[in-house]
Structure 1
Amino acid sequence: MAVQGPFKVAFGDVFPFGAFVKGGVEAVRDFDRSTRENFVQARDKDTGELVWAVEVLDADPESKGTFKVKLSAPVQPLVPEAPAGFPFVPVEFNGLMVTPYVNSGTGRLAYSLKASAVRPANFKAGGGSRSGKDGGAAGKEAA
């Protein structure tokens, strides 16, 4: 099979209606190395950088709930400021990657999302995002 592991997708293909960060950036726990008393942060398998996560709301009216997008970075990424009057932060993700997997609880296909960076959304008149220049299409489920 030609596609193995994560594959690149365009932000606009995954989030055609845009995306919003709910809350801040959190460190992701390394469940194999952490103990109840000692939190150890996960590291990216490919880069060795620390792994962080943000809770995301998909602006698609048919989307259900929230999910996490993981970010790999040497230090905690900063989420842009919310515009005046917005309860959530409209964002776009650079270097968006999708990893498909079978959810062991449901037996259904799911997707884990990872990005190299988060930035303020670039909206155009009439709604939606102008982004989507890095190719591909995919669905998503909680990571």
Structure 2
Amino acid sequence: MAIAKRFEIAHETVFPKGAYLRGLVEPVTDFQAEQRPDGSRPQQHDKETGLRLWQCTVIDGDDEVGRREIGVTVKFAAEVQPVPPKNNSPLPWTPVEFVGLTALPYVDDSGKRPRIAWSFRAEGFATPGQSARVGEPKAAA
């Protein structure tokens, strides 16, 4: 069986009870680069595309999720900062759906016991239930 390192996965498979944006979409800092004279570091770029990397933290809406998995980081490779949908909910967090979501499993050996962890990337955001692949027209209502 041939599975690429990073594979496409449906938003509903990863977040069956929903995902909620916590905070802002921020640039990913490149800690491998030299510090600038002001002490800051440049933004990290995707190794394959050369595009800037951005990240956000989402809360997994599943009550069964463990403490270590409730806050999930999702990254984006894009030249401009991705814009999440407007929060029209009564919640303090914005309900989101990820378009073009991919996953990459890896071994996290930072704890007492190694475990399988996941790195997620997305092409963009959508309001839940209104997603279409980036670049594809949305279906008429």
- TM-score of the pair, normalised by structure 1: 0.80
Kept after mapping to 2: 8 A contact 1:44/1:51:
yes
Query: Residue 17 of structure 1 aligns to a residue in which SS?
Result: coil
* Runs of at least 5 residues in structure 1 that lack an aligned partner in the other structure: 123-129, 134-143
Query: Residue 44 of structure 1 aligns to a residue in which SS?
Result: coil
**2:73 counterpart of 1:71:** no
Please give the root-mean-square deviation of Cα atoms over the aligned residues, in Å: 2.1
Mapped to 2, the partners of 1:43 and 1:70 lie a distance apart of: 11
Aligned pair in 2 of structure 1 residues 38, 32: CA closer, same or farther (>3 Å)? same
Find 1:103's aligned residue among 81, 87, 108: 108
Greater length-normalized contact order (CA 8 Å, ≥ 6 residues apart): 1
Quote the offset at 1:59 in angstroms: 0.7
| 1:30 aligned partner | 30
| 2:62 aligned partner | 60
* Runs of at least 5 residues in structure 2 that lack an aligned partner in the other structure: 134-141
Find 2:87's aligned residue among 79, 82, 87: 82
Mapped to 2, the partners of 1:88 and 1:74 lie a distance apart of: 25
Mapped to 2, the partners of 1:132 and 1:104 lie a distance apart of: 36
| 1:10 aligned partner | 10
Quote the offset at 1:81 in angstroms: 1.5
Deviations 1:27-59 (A, max 9, x none): 001121142713111111221111101110011
Mapped to 1, the partners of 2:20 and 2:6 lie a distance apart of: 23
Task: Give percent identity, aligned residues only.
Answer: 38
Quote the offset at 1:118 in angstroms: 1.1
Structure showing greater Rg: 2
Mapped to 2, the partners of 1:17 and 1:75 lie a distance apart of: 29
Quote the offset at 1:4 in angstroms: 3.5
Find 1:121's aligned residue among 112, 128, 136: 128
Quote the offset at 1:131 in angstroms: 6.6
Count of paired positions? 126
- TM-score of the pair, normalised by structure 2: 0.81
Large movers: runs of 4+ above 2 Å: 130-133
Quote the offset at 1:7 in angstroms: 0.7
